[in-house]
Structure 1
Amino acid sequence: MSRRPRAHREPVAFVMKRSGARWAAGLAILLALAGHALSRYDIRFVDTLDAMIYDAKVRLFMPRVTDQRIAILDIDEKSLAELGRWPWDRARMAELVNALFGRERIAVLGFDMVFAEPDASSGLAVLDELARGALANDADYRHALAQLAPRLDYDQRFADALAGHPVVLGYYFSNQDASSGAIPAPLMSASAFGTHPFTLFDWTSYGGNLPALQKAARRAGCFNPVIDFDGSVRRVPLVTAYRDGVFGALSLEVIRALYGDATITPLFDDPADPAAPLSGLALATPRGVRVIPVDANGAALVPYRGVAGSFPYYSIADVLARRIPAGALAGKIVLVGTTAPGLMDQRTAPVGEVYPGVEVNANLVSGMLDDAIRFQPPFAATLQALALLLAGLAMIFLWPWRLPARATLFTAILLGAIVAADLLAFARPGWSIPVASLLLAVLALYVLNMSYGYFVEARAKRHFAALFGQYVPPELVEEMSRHPEDYSMAGRRAELTVLFCDVLGFTAIAETLEPEALARLMNEYLGTMTKVIRAHRGTLDKYIGDAIMGFWGAPVDDPDHARHALAAALGMRAALVELNRTLTAHGWPTLWVGIGINTGPMTVGDMGSSVRKAYTVMGDAVNVAARLEGLTRRFDIDIIVGEATREQAPDVVFREIDRVRVKGRAAPIAVFEPQSSRQNTDELARWHAALSHYRAREWDEAQALLDALATQYPERQLYALYRKRIDALRGVELPEDWDCVSAFDTK
């Protein structure tokens, strides 16, 4: 048999040489993500993406229907205004409990709070001390106290109200402090788990209720959520371990109380296998056994029904004052919680950044009633890893990468199939399977294979996009990438123009808005202003609360940096008018800003520490710009620029405002207001004439011009300011070298 010609063997070697590095990189990506999927280690980015996908699915499938079976009694601002600050005396709490079970005929009552401290508000302790001391021999006093004591023992009155009713108190576990108060007997012994893996959350201490209250109520549940790495609450342990016992969550205990203290038994994925993981809790009810799915930690995914307010809320003040409709609470599960500022038990949830903690428990109760708690099946990790390997190996070795259109189509179909299968599993039978690793593998392999050459050839452009992309507009990054040797983030000295913009009266605005609304408003404002800065070739330095700092002339040289900064300021003024129309349509307050601009030598570059750095500017000219922004409030003018900026923009019309000496700087500077093209030139001429008379101490002439201007333009506070100055200076003997400079010693 003859040897195969060399020409037939060369393609294999050529393919190996050409694709070996790409295959190796693809396999490395695949193995790294498979290790994460099998929980061999954590990749935070993948966890973050999984959390985002899960949150999106929750929002997509949440029913958005109010559950009328559960009501939340709210310690809200109205209740605090009518009943006094929290905590209220236990006599009032006893009144509430009696009203709920007597008049309102509720089914179960749960408290999302702890009654840890004795109530001394009645003064009974003081009266007892007198009976043992100064009035020990006063029989009438002791007799009267004996008659009065039961009414003044508020804790006992509360305990009496709790006794005999299906009430669940709240408590919490901890790993820090010593235990306090009392908690109920364990739901079950740790031995109930037999030889199966015991991976429940374990604690070393607790914060419970007063023993008398716990004894009277008998039932209590812990309200420790699982706070994920991003601060969000997606799971709550329904069972948790403490010493040799297993204790139930508040929501689970409420369900148990509803069914007459129903028993709970752990279920395992394979009862015949001692190593089988925990998969659920069996709840024995009069209608049969209900299975509540939980994960290996005994935690359940919270089945959020919607955004905050998915359950009817009633103010406790209205309940006590009988202002709620008759029968509104009859037969309902009632949870007591708070939304009052300062008392807010707020959480971050997949359906809202600010979410009432009591409503987390309400969602769990609702989900258990409807058998609607989704869960991550025990085989989820294996399923994800298997799908990852099959799809990944196919993409690495079988995908038609030499035909980009076909490879893109196949990749799109694969991604669509993964998303569709995940949504179907989440909807029915309610499986929550992490798919971020699989999606990332498909996308990463696609990007790797389709753009391998691009990543090698366009290294300089990517380098500059990473360094400067967050600061400057994309077109400037593109320009810089053409000559990368000319740019650096190292510090250097240059003449630049810097701008500061701040919202006037922001503190008052913030106090009128809820946190979520304030965040949305600020995002609208900062986004709009940033677009204007970048549209005029500005470099965004930073956000300082509600303030914005930008500069012109670096990293890309700009001979017209002063003019571009002025154009940006005028553009921000115009954009604010449009933005305020949008804010008004949302029912939000309108915004007004002050802008300070200054030009001068400053240091620009990457500055900071080993922990954090930023591309920024520093120097005296920067400090002056910040002071000029502060002066906008003093003169009631929205844009103020320094003299150096004005000199570099001779084609712009300016109004000179004053000569000032700002804090931290001895030398005075002239400050100006840029004018629009529609500015009345006659008004400007008369103003400058008045300013000249003022500086020449010709008070009458200056006053006459200012009076006329103020009459014609009453909205301009500058004229009124100078009239007040003249009134103050009349009759004052000024020194010969008076320089007309106004000193401002605050920022």
Structure 2
Amino acid sequence: MLRSKKFLKLIVLLDAGLVLLILAFWLLRGSVWASWDFQVLDRFHEHAIQEGKGPEASPRLVYLLITDDAYAEFDKNALDRGYLSRVNRILSMLRPEAVAFDIIFAREGDPATDKKFARSIARLRTAYLPIAFRLADSSKPFDWLPGSVYAQLNSKITASLPETGEAQPFYGDQPVLQNDLFAAKARGTGHINAENDSDGVYRHFPLLIKLGDRYFPSLPLQMFLDFAGVPFEHVQVEWGRALTIPAVEGGRLDDARVIPIDERGQVYVPYVNTWEHDFPKVAVTRLRELFADEDMQGNLSEFFGGRFVMLGDVSHGISDIGQTPLEENVPLIAVHASVLNGLLENRFYDRWTDGQVFACLGALAVLLGGAACFRQLWIYYLVGFGGLAGLGALAWWQFTHDSLFPVTSATAAYLVVFVGLVVGLQVSLSRHGAFIRTAFSRYVPVQVVEQLLENPDLLRLGGEEREATVLFSDLEGFTTVSETMPPPHLAKLLNEYLTEMTRIIIENGGIIDKYLGDGIMAEFGIPLDTPSHADHAVRAALAMQTALRTMNTGWEKQGRVQVKCRIGIHTGTLIAGNLGSDQVFDYTVIGDSVNLAARLEGVNKLYHTEVIISEKTRSLLTPEVFRVRPLDIIKVKGKSEPVRIYEVYGLEVKPMTEMDADYYRLYEEGFRAYLNREFATAAGLFNQSLQIRPGDAPSLNMLHCMNRLNPEDLPKDWDGSTALDFK
């Protein structure tokens, strides 16, 4: 059923206003995209690779790496160009498609060695030597200096490119160039400026930059253009959309390559995997070793022949490293290799435009507004959370189909609309909410009142099956104590006790179900789901005992009576909800689990313990947080199945004396021996524990149980349980 016309009008106005507010925020910020969008996409990238849905690695790419072993081999702290000359000669005989050096040889070295290295580059014929720049956001004149390197650079860049759109390219300045002698022998060049994002992660890479008023390609782009036979000046740029490499006559491309770029000319780097698993890697030392074996030369030719070789220095303390979406401390040669792989495999990520995201948000806002028009709130929440899940599914599907969706920004905007409409709905229902709060807050827990405000349908009688932890506490011998105290003193003591215990239970996430005279019944894990409800209940029980000891100390100084508290805790399935009659009902719990928790509280009397929990509760506790020991296996009255019970005697973080540790160890070993029917061993261990704690009730109880047993008469299915004849 739809709401009234007045309310429908309010929803439409509120929905439209929220969307306009979000659009204004995005426009003022300049973009829908934010750093947190890419951080979420990083996780998508990881999962896509794990599921085999990431970019594929080209079989034409291989790393040739200068490692620490190479420096040890030529016994220098600086890169030995003579050593590299020998590597180049080997590569020239293996005939790779291209060899990209991720190294800039800017300074002059030994003249004879430099000439030797230059000749090896010329002999290789496929070497690419990069250039690095300082990148700036604004245009500035490029300082063309005299020299052959500048002359070669000047001849390799283009004055203009066919371009459309609003360009915001990076501008290069203060170049770090190759030595003239080497640059003259190289086949090509390109920039290697990998700029990290604001959070320090290398996700984007500029395919081209500007030097003054002229464009200059990146090293991966220039290598691919030479491979494809396409001159750089034929490249077409649509800023913010795509860089197109056309298929030219005589080239290798059958169809044009359309590469998505942003307004800065950057691609989203399509990493195929982590550094250890992206492309084959060969150390230069290993290459030389294998090439020295004539039987291996044919295999090397097959391996390197026709491949793109990315040659870089990854030795410690020398290589440039950075963080990628997949891992930290990665040699940055991986950026250039991944971009080149994307060009070879024609696999890059497109990105949703701001306009597309605007349209998506508008559609979702209409969906939410339509759902808010129904009187049943569950429809709105169903649609709302469905839309939220849909955004996540859309982002994942888009990523695995090479499209980037700003899932975090879109989700935040969606939540603004969702929450905004919720607030509007709540304001409109404020009178009804005030009635509920006034009528029920006096006898229903606050958490339940809040849930009723969110969903008034819960006021109907009935309950739901839930798993929760129930705590019962009771003061030992309080009836006898109360007979010796004047009523005003008794009421004051009881009020102080219940106030402090209630505070502890609520602070640990529990709700007070009811007070049973001096006893308390509390639940953890309802009405709101709490994953660690068993932990919360046990932590509350220990805090209650600690607080009572503190209160007893104060009461003793005042000459007042001392009291002890017993607590039983059990976790299980129960019925929770509004139970009672049409006229009077209460939010409470019922079921066998509740009864067992109450029984466990009374079982403390038998073992002189303070806190007893069931096996189910113990199994849900976070490991290594609480000190727990097995106490017994009991059959309580009214239940046929035995229940293993445990005593909780502290927190692991609190130190324990060596004597106490020995006591608990001996008891647990004795208990295990008892269950294994090793009664003589068990008796010895329990007697040893009694030497540490004379009169210890659990140990005496176990000895008493064994004294009543005749091992020869025990049935095969004996489980060691003790039947209790009291409730």
- Range into which the TM-score falls when normalised by the shorter chain: 0.5 to 0.7
Which ranges of structure 1 fall in alignment gaps of 5 or more residues? 1-9, 121-151, 270-275, 462-474, 484-529, 539-551, 576-637, 642-651, 656-672, 685-747
Deviations 1:381-428 (A, max 9, x none): 111112212321442355345323322333354445555555555455
Alignment of 1:307-326 (within 5 A): 307-308=274-275, 309-322=277-290, 325-326=299-300
Q: Is the 8 A contact 1:476 1:537 kept in 2?
A: no
For residue 111 of structure 1, the aligned residue among 96, 101, 115 is 101
1:341 aligns with 2:319: no
Which ranges of structure 2 fall in alignment gaps of 5 or more residues? 137-141, 438-445, 448-502, 512-531, 552-609, 612-620, 629-651, 667-684, 690-727
Alignment of 1:593-608 (within 5 A): none
Decide whether aligned partners of structure 1 residues 119 and 388 sit closer, same or farther in structure 2, where only a CA change above 3 A counts: same
The SS at the match of 1:318 is helix
Q: CA deviation at 1:35?
A: 3.9
Q: CA deviation at 1:251?
A: 1.1
Alignment of 1:174-193 (within 5 A): 174-175=134-135, 182=149, 185=153, 187-193=156-162
TM-score, normalized by length of structure 1?
A: 0.52
Write the distance in 2 (CA, Å) between the matches of 1:247 and 1:559.
78
1:408 aligns with 2:381: yes
For residue 260 of structure 2, the aligned residue among 272, 293, 296 is 293
For residue 37 of structure 2, the aligned residue among 49, 53, 56 is 49
Q: Is the 8 A contact 1:283 1:290 kept in 2?
A: yes
Write the distance in 1 (CA, Å) between the matches of 2:688 and 2:185.
81
Deviations 1:642-670 (A, max 9, x none): xxxxxxxxxx5347xxxxxxxxxxxxxxx
1:166 aligns with 2:154: no
Write the distance in 2 (CA, Å) between the matches of 1:90 and 1:173.
23
Q: Is the 8 A contact 1:201 1:297 kept in 2?
A: yes
Decide whether aligned partners of structure 1 residues 87 and 258 sit closer, same or farther in structure 2, where only a CA change above 3 A counts: farther
Q: Which residue of 2 aligns with 1:214?
A: 183
Q: Which residue of 2 aligns with 1:598?
A: none
Alignment of 1:634-653 (within 5 A): 652-653=656-657
Decide whether aligned partners of structure 1 residues 387 and 559 sit closer, same or farther in structure 2, where only a CA change above 3 A counts: farther
TM-score, normalized by length of structure 2?
A: 0.53
Write the distance in 1 (CA, Å) between the matches of 2:547 and 2:117.
75
Which AA in structure 1 matches 2:404? S
- What is the root-mean-square deviation in Å for CA atoms of aligned residues? 5.0
Write the distance in 2 (CA, Å) between the matches of 1:570 and 1:295.
50
Q: CA deviation at 1:217?
A: 1.3
The SS at the match of 1:153 is helix
For residue 77 of structure 1, the aligned residue among 54, 68, 71 is 68
Q: Is the 8 A contact 2:66 2:312 kept in 1?
A: yes
Which AA in structure 1 matches 2:129? L
Decide whether aligned partners of structure 1 residues 571 and 300 sit closer, same or farther in structure 2, where only a CA change above 3 A counts: closer
Alignment of 1:527-566 (within 5 A): none
Alignment of 1:208-247 (within 5 A): 208-217=177-186, 219-247=188-216
Deviations 1:256-275 (A, max 9, x none): 34345743434255xxxxxx
Write the distance in 1 (CA, Å) between the matches of 2:358 and 2:331.
36
Write the distance in 2 (CA, Å) between the matches of 1:426 and 1:480.
42
Decide whether aligned partners of structure 1 residues 57 and 73 sit closer, same or farther in structure 2, where only a CA change above 3 A counts: closer
Q: Which residue of 2 aligns with 1:548?
A: none
Which AA in structure 2 matches 1:209? Q
Q: Is the 8 A contact 2:101 2:130 kept in 1?
A: yes
For residue 359 of structure 2, the aligned residue among 386, 393, 400 is 386
Q: CA deviation at 1:154?
A: 1.3
Q: Is the 8 A contact 2:62 2:280 kept in 1?
A: yes
1:373 aligns with 2:336: no
Q: Is the 8 A contact 1:266 1:278 kept in 2?
A: no
The SS at the match of 2:323 is strand
Q: CA deviation at 1:175?
A: 4.8
Q: Which residue of 2 aligns with 1:520?
A: none
Q: Is the 8 A contact 2:230 2:246 kept in 1?
A: no
Q: CA deviation at 1:449?
A: 4.2
Alignment of 1:22-61 (within 5 A): 24=14, 29-35=18-24, 37-38=26-27, 40-41=29-30, 47-53=35-41, 55-57=43-45, 59-60=47-48
Alignment of 1:148-547 (within 5 A): 153-163=112-122, 165-175=125-135, 182=149, 185=153, 187-193=156-162, 197-217=166-186, 219-259=188-228, 262-269=231-238, 279-283=242-246, 286-288=251-253, 289-308=256-275, 309-322=277-290, 325-327=299-301, 328-376=303-351, 380-396=353-369, 399-400=372-373, 402-415=375-388, 418-419=391-392, 421-423=394-396, 425-428=398-401, 430-450=402-422, 453=426, 479=507
Deviations 1:354-384 (A, max 9, x none): 433212211111111121122236xx21111
Which AA in structure 2 matches 1:280? L
1:94 aligns with 2:102: no
Write the distance in 2 (CA, Å) between the matches of 1:179 and 1:640.
72
The SS at the match of 1:98 is helix
Identity across the alignment (%): 18
Write the distance in 1 (CA, Å) between the matches of 2:505 and 2:374.
30
The SS at the match of 2:153 is coil
Q: CA deviation at 1:36?
A: 5.3
Decide whether aligned partners of structure 1 residues 479 and 260 sit closer, same or farther in structure 2, where only a CA change above 3 A counts: same
Deviations 1:66-114 (A, max 9, x none): 5331110122233334344553211111111111112x22110001122
Write the distance in 2 (CA, Å) between the matches of 1:318 and 1:83.
14
The SS at the match of 1:221 is coil
